Amino acid sequence: MTVASAESRNGNYPGKGIGQAVGVAILGKGTVGTEVLRLIQEFSENLEHRIGGPLAVRGVAVSNVGKHKDAPEVQGIYLTDDATELINREDVDVVVEVIGGIDYPRKLVLAALQAGKSVVTANKALVAAHGSELADAANEAGVDLYYEAAVAAAIPVVGMLRRSLAGDQVQRISGIVNGTTNFILDAMASTGASYEDALAEATRLGYAEADPTADVEGHDAASKAAILASMGFHTRVTFDDVYCEGITKITAEDIAAAKKSNQTIKLLAICERLYDEDGNTTAVNARVHPTLVPNEHPLASVDQSYNAIFVEAEAAGRLMFYGNGAGGAPTASAVLGDLVGAARNKVHGGRAPAENPYADYKVVGFDEVPTRYHVNMTVDDRVGVLADLARNFADDGVSLSAVRQEESGDEAHLIVVTHKALERDLRAIVQRLEEHDAVKAINSVIRLDA
């Protein structure tokens, strides 16, 4: 195995020199990998000017060579099913990983970094689960690790956190980072469709996978939340640190109730600092869950399968980044942007800004975070019920910001909106309400974007 040079390990990063080719190995040739190859070939002259030397694709690793050998974009390119052999070639400088999954790509990416090759990956699950390990390996070898495409495809949010806001203090990041769930919720809001019907339409149009679990249960968004929190707060946050709740329980009735209150329901990834009374950061939290967003908020108008990330920083103020958050071409655009950066460093010398988890804040669970609840209950329609149920909140020191009752025969729908309180306290109140004699059903509990 090729080992990173002592010069790199000592902190000096000499370049290959202007005009020298940068060898590229591409691992994976699915939708994104194929598009990356096409863009490299189509824009080769422009890319050479931007980098200072040509990109030379040394090979493409696939699981089945026979399946891909006749594809026009790989004609004249070395095709192999031995990714490790390709990584370790002396003429490979940068490895692009677009395979997906965790365990096998982790092995390959670590091998590439340890061999002194810079890595570009679009693998959000890998970065969310093992980002710290990969960053340490990149630092040890003195090479670059890029992963802009791992969060919201072509939307340049990772680069923004890594470079543009490097001199600021990010306070909060909230965003729509999964196009499938946003399409489903938007379809429910615009047509009145049920969750099941909206999911079926998303599947028919190709927005949802045959197995949509990772999307609709929030796992995909949670991986991205872990990456955003790590970058924004200079603290290592993993997928396991992120509270995750999907959209499968959202009903057409929930959507209609949101409209009545001039709000819309979005699946948000939320990353935020927690402060003490003196305004000092005490911890950070990352979570994913359906959220009621006021219609006047910029995120409320993000429709169809689009993504948007809303960032609040101390000096820069409020910023929003919007665009296609998935798909072969947008993801390949982000991969190619990273590839240009990594290749430029190989030609001219130096490294990109690396992960810097210097702050090392405590990462707390959702129970410790203040939030707000919108509770929809079916209750007995009789005198004293409202006051009795309100006492359940008051007994725990939770005040109510709004109460609305809608009568329906012998029962009534009661909508209760709380002020801020700790998640654990609000959850405990709802559990007690479920056991209350006057409560027929807790129809839904949706948090508000506080």
Active site residues: 224
Provide the token pair at 8: 């790199």
d(CA 177, CA 154): 12
Q: Considering only CA atoms, which of 148, 199, 193 is closest in space to residue 331? A: 148
Q: Residue 428 burial (CB < 10 Å; 0-12/13-18/19+)?
A: middle
d(CA 258, CA 219): 24
Give the rounded distance of the alpha carbon of 229 from its chain centre. 10
Give the rounded distance of the alpha carbon of 338 from its chain centre. 17
Q: Which residues does 332 contact at the CB level (< 8 Å), separation at least 6?
A: 32, 35, 36, 38, 39, 149
Q: Which residues are annotated as a binding site for NADP(+)?
A: 27-34
**Contact indicator for 218, 246 with CB cutoff of 8 Å:** yes
Q: Which residues does 365 contact at the CB level (< 8 Å), separation at least 6?
A: 243, 285
* Terminal CA-CA length for the chain: 52
φ/ψ of residue 199, rounded to 5: -65, -40
Q: Which SS3 state, helix, strand or coil, does residue 307 take?
A: strand
Q: Which residues does 370 contact at the CB level (< 8 Å), separation at least 6?
A: 420, 421, 422, 423, 450
Q: Which residues are annotated as a binding site?
A: 27-34, 124, 209
Q: Which SS3 state, helix, strand or coil, does residue 43 take?
A: coil
**How many other CB atoms are there within 10 angstroms of residue 340's CB atom?**
19
Q: Considering only CA atoms, which of 150, 171, 169 is closest in space to residue 105? A: 150
Q: Helices 124-141 and 219-233: crossing angle, nearest 10°?
A: 30
Q: Which residues are annotated as a binding site for NADPH?
A: 124
DSSP string of 47-69?
HHHHHTS-EEEEEEE-S-HHHHT
Q: Which SS3 state, helix, strand or coil, does residue 269 take?
A: strand
DSSP string of 229-292?
HHHHHTS---GGGSEE--STT--HHHHHHHHHTTEEEEEEEEEEEEE-TTS-EEEEEEEEEEEE
Q: Which residues are annotated as a binding site for L-homoserine?
A: 209
